[in-house]
Amino acid sequence: MVSPSRSTHQRGAVFLDRDGVLNRAPIKDGRPSAPHRLEELEILPGVEAACARLKDAGLPLFCVTNQPDVARGIADRKTIEAMNIWLADKLGLAEVAVCWHDGGDGCHCRKPLPGLLVDLANSHDLSLPQSIMIGDRWRDIEAGEHAGCTTIFIDYGYAEKRPARPDITATSLWDVVPAILQHFKIGD
């Protein structure tokens, strides 16, 4: 487990993966991929309502996303940044943290490593043990586990490795809003 460097953290947050949790992830050979153009970006059903409910409850929402297609030369960074800004504005996200690296780059921020979560916790004075990480892939769940967060797996039945031990499994972000509110001891 990785701990943030400060010891004065007071509140938790909701960390959300992007593709497959907030927006539709195109499926190729049974595995999710990322949209590369703004016109391909489609917010999933129930996500706007879920984010609004969580924000209304006072919870800070952060997106944490791997975008290796930029390093691979398949996607344009400025376009991905524009997509992230649009999502943040539309969903009321406090920040979108991005790992732009590919798997072999040796960075600390590429999920399943917890670097994005740890960096956000340090810069926003957040408690990782009080936080939740929500993702649709094993990398998201392992990043949350490594950071000490409660984990929620949105299961789409992808043809790939599954997370070993998510705390909660669901089929959509909207479906887990009550569990998230309960985690933070907020009445629904």
Q: What is the pLDDT of residue 100?
A: 97
The token pair that represents 21 in the structure block: 């949790």
User: How many C-beta atoms surround the C-beta of residue 142 within 10 A?
Assistant: 22
Cα dist from 83 to 54, 60, 61, 150, 157, whole Å: 22, 20, 17, 27, 26
Q: What is the pLDDT of residue 4?
A: 46
Q: What is the Cα–Cα distance from 63 to 46, expressed in whole angstroms?
A: 16
List, in order, residues 6 or more apart from 28 with CB less than 8 Å away: none
Point out the catalytic residue in the list 17, 69, 136, 140: 17
Domain boundary assignment for the chain: 14-183
Q: What is the pLDDT of residue 188?
A: 53
Q: What is the Cα–Cα distance from 74 to 54, expressed in whole angstroms?
A: 34
List the one residue out of 65, 18, 26, 16 whose CA is nearest residue 158: 26
What letter does residue 57 receive in the DSSP assignment? T
What letter does residue 11 receive in the DSSP assignment? B
List the one residue out of 126, 137, 134 whose CA is nearest residue 150: 134
Q: What is the pLDDT of residue 10?
A: 74
First CA to last CA across the chain, in angstroms?
31
Confirm if 174 and 44 have CB atoms less than 8 A apart. Answer: no
Using DSSP's 3-state secondary structure scheme, residue 56 falls into: helix
**Token pair 């916790």 in the structure block, residue:** 121
Q: What is the pLDDT of residue 57?
A: 97
Per-residue pLDDT of the chain (188 residues; tens, 9 = 90+): 444 444 454 799 999 999 999 999 999 999 999 999 999 999 999 999 999 999 999 999 999 999 999 999 999 999 999 999 999 999 999 999 999 999 999 999 999 999 999 999 999 999 999 999 999 999 999 999 999 999 999 999 999 999 999 999 999 999 999 999 999 999 75
As assigned by CATH, the class of the 14-183 domain is alpha beta
- What pTM was computed for the model? 0.94
Q: Is the dihedral of CA 167, 154, 12, 107 positive or negative?
A: positive
What CA dihedral angle connects 159, 165, 168 and 170, to 10 degrees?
Answer: 10
Told to judge if 19 belongs to the known catalytic residues of this protein, a careful annotator would answer: yes
Told to judge if 29 belongs to the known catalytic residues of this protein, a careful annotator would answer: no
